[in-house]
Structure 1
C-alpha cells in the first residue's frame, strides 16, 4: 500500500540505461609485459634516459642565454633508432608558431626562438656533424649510424636565444621590479623528446600545454654577473666560490633549523659585502639527480631565507625562498619558507618522500609555474593566495615531477592530482589557517564543491576530462582540468572506496611509477586492482563523459508483510554510492549505504529498511554528492 506522496519529479536531462553506465570500460591501452594488468610497470618495462651537462651564460643587459649542452642519451628500448627528436620550446615565440595559431591567431610578442649554432652526435665512438631538421618546437637529428637497442649516443649542441619578457605570457621570462631585474629561466636548453612503448617518439608540438620528458642526472653551470644570486633546481656544488663566508655559515644553520633563517636579509640586498667580490662574473654549479628537468632564477635584488625540511626515515632536505625586498613581510614572502617546508613535509608523510636536496620558491616572473625542486610565484602574492600557490606549485614535485605524467597530452593528471593533494594540505596547515581551499570562480564564499561543479556537468559544451589537453579551451581549462579532475579523486577517496582503501592504492601507484611514465589506463587499473573494485561506471561517467547525476526517492511503501520499503531511482546517467537516511517517529535515524550497483540492473530499486514507523527517507543527507536536483532527494510519510 502506498502511504507517501513525494515531491514531483523534474524533467530528466538523460535517460538512465544500466547497460550503458555499467558496460565494460575500454581503457584504450592493452596489457602486456611492459604495463601489467594491475596498473603497475610490467616485468619488461623500459624507458630511455637522458643525462645533461649544460653550460650557459645569462647576459642581463642583452637579455640572452648563450650555452652548450652535452646530452648522454641511452636507448633502453628494444628498438634501433635511426633518428633522434629534441624539443626546442623557445620556438613557441617565433612568428607563425603553431601555438599562436592554435590560440586563435592572437598576436604575441615574438623572438627568433632557439638557434642551434652547432650540432654533433657521437655513436659508437664515431662523431658526425648534424644538420637539424627543425619543425616548429621540435628538431629531428638524422643519424649517420643508427643507435642500437642498449646503445648510447652523445649529443653536443651550442645554442642561444633571447629571453622573452614577462609580457609574453609564457612560463619563463624576466621582469623589472622596484629593486632590479629578476630572471626566471626555464625551457632553456634543447631537451630530448620521449621515446616510449606506446607511441615511439612522442613529438607533440609545444602549444603551451607543458611537458613530457625523460629522466636523468643534470650538472649545470650558470655564469652571471658577480652581483647576482642564482637559485636553481638541485644542490649548489660550489658554495665556496659564489657565497660569502657568512652566507655559508647561515646556510649551514638553516639546514638544522625548523625556524626560517635569513641567509641574505632584505636590508642587505644592496650591500657589496653580501657578494664574494664586485665586478666580473661568477659561475654557479648545480647538480640534480634523477629528474626530468631543471630550471633557475637569477637576480641582484634577491633576499634569501631557508629552513630544514624533515622527511620520513630521519632524512632531511632544505626549503629556500628568494624574493626582492618589496615582497618582504610576515603576511607576505616572509612566510614563504614556512609554507614550503610544511607542504613538503606533509606531502612526503602522506604520499611519497620528497627525493631532492632542496625545494625552492622564487618571487618573480612566470608566476604560478613549477619545475623539479623549484617553483616561480608572484612578487605581489600574499596571505592565503601565497600559501595556496606555494602548496600547489611545490605539490607538482609529486605530480608530474616524481610521477612522470605526460602533461602535454593529459594535463588533467598533473593538475587534477596535484589540486587533489593540496586540498588536504590547506585543511591541515596550521590547524586550518587557510582552509578550506576553494577556487574563486567556483566557490567565492567557500561553498560546497559538489554544488560548484554542477554547472560544468550541465554544460553541453564542456569537454570530458579525457580530452586531449590542447583541445580544452581556456574557458574550460580550470573547471575541467583542475577542478573536476581533483573533485573526481576526492569523491573516489571519500565516497566511493573510502580512505582506508584509496590511500594505500594511491601510495602504491605513486611509488611504483616514481620516475617513470604512467598513462591514464595504468592509473585506472592500479586503483581497481589494489582497491578491489570494478570502477568502469565511474571512469566512464566522470572521466570519459561529462554525465550528470540525479538520484531520487520515488516513494515509501509498506509491503503486505508489514515491512517498509523505500523506492530509490536513478534519473540521469551518472550514479554513485549514496547514503539513505531513514528517520523514524521519535527522531531516531538510521543510515544505509547504497552501493553504485543498486542501479546495475534497473533504474529503480526497492530498499528494505529496518523495522519501525518511518516518517522520512532522504538520499545524500550530508550533501556529499554532485546531485543536479536535490528537490527530489527526500520523501516523507503524509
Structure 2
C-alpha cells in the first residue's frame, strides 16, 4: 500500500510539473522591453547620455538696475542683456519671457484659470510697461533696431540683421516697470506684517528664452503650473530701496560697506566663521535701523553679482530679522547660510532654526552629489508656500518644525535640480521636482540623526492614487495635468521611481555612480529626458527601457504575485505571476523550516517570456514562507498576493 501511494503521488507531481512547464510557454512580452522613444545619439547629444562633441548652448548675461517704491508697490528700472549665439545658425530675433504679464486680466494664464481658482491664481491688475527697447549687434557697422512684438508673456526682439552663428554677440536693452502683485501665484508677491511689507521679487525682469538643438526656441507661455527654462549667464544687478530695508538676493553682496554699518559688518564676519547661527539683525533691532545701517534717510542701493546662474531673485523689507552661519563645503570651501523673517515667524520652534536647516541641507547635498556653487544660500519668510531660485528660497512665514525643515530642504534641493542641472521645468516638471523629492528623502533621513525623517520609502501609502482611474502619467505637461494629480506625477511618482532604482533594481553603488555622472555631465547645461535615460543605463550597465516606458511614460502598476509553492523532486518551485503592467525584478524573502532566512533576486527578464514564471529553488532545506519584496520598497498595489502562505505573516 505504501509503495502504491508513493507511485500515485509521483505521478500527480509529474503531471503537475508538466502543467507548470506548459504555463510558462505563453506569448512573450518583448514589446514591454523595447525602446519607446528615439534615443540614438548625435553630435550634440551622445548615445551615452553625455553632451556630444558639438554640444552648444547660448548665453545671456544681465546688467539690471531697479528701484523699489513702497508707496505704490512698484519696481522700475532698466536692463541690458548681452546675448551670445553659440548655435550653428544665425538668429534674426530672440525671444524673452515677460512673466509679469501673467498678472493681467486678459493673460492666457488668467483666462485658463478655473473660476474657483487654484494654487496658481494671482492678481490681475499688473503686467509690464516696456519702453526704450533697443537691440544692437556687437559688430562694426551694425545698426540698432527698435522693433519688437509682445504676445502675452513672450516678447520677440528683432535685430537689424541676423545675429551670426557660432559666437555672434548682441546687446538688448529696455526700461521696464510693473506693480508688484500681492498674490503672485505662490511664487512671488508682497506680505504686510507688523513692522512693514515683505517684498518677494521673482520673475521680475525680462528673461531670455532658451534656444536649443531640440525644438529651437522654447516659447511656451507662462500659464501657472509650468515653471521655467532659462539660459545660463552672469548677473550684475542693483536694487535701490528705502534706507531702512534689508535686501537679500541671489549671489554675493558687492558693496557691504555702503549698506551695512561697522557693527553689522563685524557680525557678518563672525557669522562667516561660525557653525552656529549668529544674529545680524536681532528681533529688538528691527525698528531701530540706526543700529545696523549707515544711513538714516532716503534710498540706498544694494549691489549683487552671481556667475553662471540661470536666474536671480531678491527680497526687501524693513521688517526682517536677519541671521547667518557658515556652510562648510568639500575641499575646504565655504559659503554662508542666511535667513530673513519677520518677528511673527521668530522662535526656536519656527524660523529661529531656518539657518540651521539651510546649512545642513546645503552641506548634505554638496557632500553626497555635487558641490554647492554659490556664495550664499538665503531662506526668506514670505507669503509663499515654497519657491526656489539660485541661492535663494521663498518659504511660508507660518511654517514651523518639520514643515519648515521640509520646505527649506526641498527648496534648497532645487539648487541641484534645476539650477545646476538646467532642465526644462515648463515641460518636464518631474526632472526637477521628482529628482529633488528623491534627494530630499536622504537629506531628511540624515538631518540631526533623522529628527524629522522621510516617508518616501513608504511607497504603499500611494496605492489609492496609483489605482485611481483619473491618474495621469509622469510625462503629462504640468500646465495640462489635473492639479489634483500634479503632486504625484511631478513629485512623488518620479521620486519613487528613483528610489526603486537605487534601493531595489540597481543597488546604491551602481545608482550613485550613474546619478552623479548625470549631474556632472549636465551641470550648467540643458539635458532632455532621453539624456537622463541614456546616461543612467550606460553608467549603471543596465537596459532600463522597460522601466522608463512603464513607470515614467505609462499609468500601469506593479502587482507581483506568488501563486503557490509546490515540491519538485528534491527541490521546491515558487510559482510567480506579474498581474500588473510594470515588469520588475522579483526579490524573494525566504524562510526555512529551521528558522533561517535567505534573499533571492530574480532578474526582470523572467517577464520577457510572459506573465508567469516558475522558479526552481534548489535547497536541501524546506521552505515554510516566501515573501515578495520583504523590505516593501515597491508600491505593489495588492499586498494580499505577495506572501505564501499568508497566515505565517499575520
Q: TM-score, normalised by structure 2?
A: 0.92
CA distance in 1, matches of 2:513, 2:526: 20
Tell me the equivalent position of 1:625: 634
Tell me the equivalent position of 2:240: 223
Displacement of 1:377 in angstroms is 0.9
Displacement of 1:175 in angstroms is 1.1
The reply on whether 1:556 has 2:565 as its aligned counterpart is yes
Equivalent residues of 2:105, 2:111 under 8 A apart: no
Superimposed CA distance per residue, residues 562-594 of structure 1 (whole angstroms, 9 cap, x where no aligned partner):
221111111121121222123222222222111
Displacement of 1:598 in angstroms is 2.0
Picking from 29, 46, 70, the partner of 1:19 is 29
Equivalent residues of 2:561, 2:628 under 8 A apart: yes
Superimposed CA distance per residue, residues 465-509 of structure 1 (whole angstroms, 9 cap, x where no aligned partner):
011221112100102211111111111110010101001110111
CA distance in 2, matches of 1:466, 1:276: 53
Equivalent residues of 1:564, 1:611 under 8 A apart: no
Picking from 51, 68, 72, the partner of 2:61 is 51
Displacement of 1:461 in angstroms is 2.1
Displacement of 1:365 in angstroms is 2.8
CA distance in 1, matches of 2:325, 2:359: 7
- Range that drifts further, 529-538 or 25-34: 25-34
Tell me the equivalent position of 1:91: 101
The reply on whether 1:255 has 2:272 as its aligned counterpart is yes
Tell me the equivalent position of 1:81: 91
Superimposed CA distance per residue, residues 141-187 of structure 1 (whole angstroms, 9 cap, x where no aligned partner):
12211101020000011111111013x53411111012211000011
Equivalent residues of 1:90, 1:137 under 8 A apart: yes
Equivalent residues of 1:615, 1:637 under 8 A apart: no
Picking from 492, 495, 506, the partner of 1:483 is 492
Tell me the equivalent position of 1:453: 462
In the TM superposition, what are the counterparts of 1:237-256 in structure 2 within 5 Å?
237-256=254-273
In the TM superposition, what are the counterparts of 1:500-515 in structure 2 within 5 Å?
500-515=509-524
Displacement of 1:23 in angstroms is 3.1
In 2 relative to 1, CA 102–25 (structure 1 residues): closer, same or farther, beyond 3 Å? farther
Equivalent residues of 1:21, 1:574 under 8 A apart: no
Picking from 555, 560, 574, the partner of 1:566 is 574
CA distance in 1, matches of 2:45, 2:112: 33
Displacement of 1:127 in angstroms is 4.0
CA distance in 1, matches of 2:643, 2:348: 49
Displacement of 1:51 in angstroms is 0.3
- Range that drifts further, 194-203 or 610-619: 610-619
Tell me the equivalent position of 1:111: 125
CA distance in 1, matches of 2:599, 2:122: 57
CA distance in 2, matches of 1:131, 1:170: 34
CA distance in 2, matches of 1:612, 1:95: 74
Structure 1: which 5+ runs fail to align? Answer: 4-15, 439-447
CA distance in 1, matches of 2:646, 2:215: 60
Superimposed CA distance per residue, residues 536-576 of structure 1 (whole angstroms, 9 cap, x where no aligned partner):
110011001011121111122222x3221111111121121
SS in 1 for 2:29: helix
Superimposed CA distance per residue, residues 444-463 of structure 1 (whole angstroms, 9 cap, x where no aligned partner):
xxxx6321221222122211
Displacement of 1:296 in angstroms is 0.2
Tell me the equivalent position of 1:195: 211
CA distance in 2, matches of 1:80, 1:129: 17
Superimposed CA distance per residue, residues 584-638 of structure 1 (whole angstroms, 9 cap, x where no aligned partner):
2222222211121121212211112122222222222332222111212222499
Tell me the equivalent position of 1:370: 388
CA distance in 2, matches of 1:615, 1:413: 43
SS in 1 for 2:228: coil
- Range that drifts further, 612-621 or 561-570: 612-621
Displacement of 1:380 in angstroms is 1.3
SS in 2 for 1:40: coil
CA distance in 1, matches of 2:612, 2:73: 67
Tell me the equivalent position of 1:8: none
CA distance in 2, matches of 1:30, 1:295: 38
Picking from 343, 349, 356, the partner of 1:338 is 356
In the TM superposition, what are the counterparts of 1:382-393 in structure 2 within 5 Å?
382-393=400-411
- Range that drifts further, 21-30 or 417-426: 21-30
Structure of greater Rg: 2
Structure with more contact order per residue of length (Cα contacts < 8 Å, sep ≥ 6): 1
In 2 relative to 1, CA 38–496 (structure 1 residues): closer, same or farther, beyond 3 Å? same
Displacement of 1:324 in angstroms is 1.1
CA distance in 2, matches of 1:480, 1:449: 17
Equivalent residues of 1:212, 1:404 under 8 A apart: yes
Tell me the equivalent position of 1:327: 345
CA distance in 1, matches of 2:145, 2:528: 36
Structure 2: which 5+ runs fail to align? Answer: 1-9, 14-25
CA RMSD of aligned residues (A): 1.7
Superimposed CA distance per residue, residues 39-65 of structure 1 (whole angstroms, 9 cap, x where no aligned partner):
111111000000000000000111001
